[in-house]
Amino acid sequence: MFRDRIPVAVARIVEKLRSLQWEVLVACSLSERFAGLLTGNPALAYLWVSHCKERGYCQDGAIEVLGAQLVRGGETNQRQLLRHLNLRSTKGALRLLRKCHLPALRSDHVELLRTVLRDDRRMERLRHLPRLGTGILELARSTRILQSCSPAMLAEIAATPEELHRARTAARIESHLALLDELGMPLSRPFRSREDLHRQHRELTNGFHELRCQLESSVLPPPAP
């Protein structure tokens, strides 16, 4: 259907998407402006399609309405488009979106990206990173988890291939902080690296198990009948 209407460069970008592929293809076929947006800032195009879908432009046989909406409202100025999406319309926001690792984006990241683009603290922590994969995006779900990472650790996670599509470090930090809360202990300092996190978590869990064993052994057995 779209073979003669979709440029190869656009098709390659669409292939990387994990969701909304059909909606993006239709938008490209109906709007050259959108195809240009997709090649210039894929994550912003992804947010735009999600925005249209949420408003019912992508449902059932009326999917063509999406293209009409893009033709009417698809500004070539990306900052104007950010304003239309009620997001921070700055060069920094556009740069951050361009850093998103497209194959890592999922539909549940849409609201997360909106949250990040509206939060100065999150923006500041992420702006120096070369790319944003699943591992980094999941860290950004919680300002507490994000603040627990040093800049060097964030850069390490961003550069780790396995963190592009998974979020093991974020899950480990969440578990570590939950255990600290259970013990009534604060985080002494931000984690310096993934290895530093693993070492601290290992020490904390070992200490927790030792404490639990001591408490269990100190409980006197019930008196004999």
Q: What is the pLDDT of residues 108-123, one digit of tens each?
A: 888 999 999 999 999 9
Q: Is residue 94 part of a domain?
A: yes
Whether residues 14 and 114 share a domain: the answer is yes
Q: Does the structure show a pLDDT above 80 at 208?
A: no
Sign of the four-CA dihedral 90, 95, 98, 99: negative
Whether residues 139 and 42 share a domain: the answer is no
Residues whose CB is less than 8 angstroms from the CB of residue 78 and which lie 6 or more positions away in sequence, other chains included: 37, 40, 41, 44, 94
Domain boundary among 63, 90, 118: 118
* Distance in angstroms (rounded) separating the CA atoms of residues 67 and 17: 19
Whether residues 114 and 142 share a domain: the answer is no
Whether residues 99 and 12 share a domain: the answer is yes
What's the N-to-C CA distance of the chain in angstroms? Answer: 84
Whether residues 110 and 136 share a domain: the answer is no
Encode 30-51: b = buried (16+ Cβ within 10 Å), e = exposed.
bbebbbbbbeebbbbbbbbbbb
Whether residues 136 and 114 share a domain: the answer is no
User: Averaged over 189-215, what is the pLDDT?
Assistant: 85
Q: Is residue 193 part of a domain?
A: yes
* Distance in angstroms (rounded) separating the CA atoms of residues 147 and 170: 12
CA distances 5 to 35, 106, 109, 174, 204, Å, are 11, 26, 29, 46, 58
Whether residues 203 and 95 share a domain: the answer is no
Q: Is residue 179 part of a domain?
A: yes
Whether residues 105 and 146 share a domain: the answer is no
Domain boundary among 87, 118, 149: 118
Min mean pLDDT across 27-36, 68-77, 168-177 is at 68-77
Whether residues 35 and 98 share a domain: the answer is yes
Return the ∠ at Cα 125 (arms to 120 and 127), rounded to 5°: 85
Q: Is residue 196 part of a domain?
A: yes
| Contact of 96 with 126, CB cutoff 8 Å | yes
pTM of the model: 0.81
Count of domains forming the chain: 2
Whether residues 17 and 112 share a domain: the answer is yes
DSSP letters along 83-151, please? Answer: HHTTS--SHHHHHHHHTB-GGG--TTHHHHHHHHHT-HHHHHHHTT-S-B-HHHHHHTT-HHHHHTB-H
Whether residues 8 and 113 share a domain: the answer is yes
* Distance in angstroms (rounded) separating the CA atoms of residues 10 and 50: 18
Digit-coded pLDDT (tens) for 165-183? 999 999 999 999 999 998 8
| Residue-level pLDDT at 35 | 84
Q: How many Cα atoms occupy the beta-carbon half-sphere of 171 within 13 Å?
A: 5
Q: Is residue 180 part of a domain?
A: yes
Q: Is residue 125 part of a domain?
A: no
* Distance in angstroms (rounded) separating the CA atoms of residues 175 and 148: 13
Domain boundary among 83, 118, 153: 118
105: tokens are 């984006």
Q: Is residue 101 part of a domain?
A: yes
Whether residues 144 and 187 share a domain: the answer is yes
207 vs 117, residue with greater confidence: 117
Domain around 177: 132-216
Q: Is residue 222 part of a domain?
A: no
* Distance in angstroms (rounded) separating the CA atoms of residues 13 and 38: 8
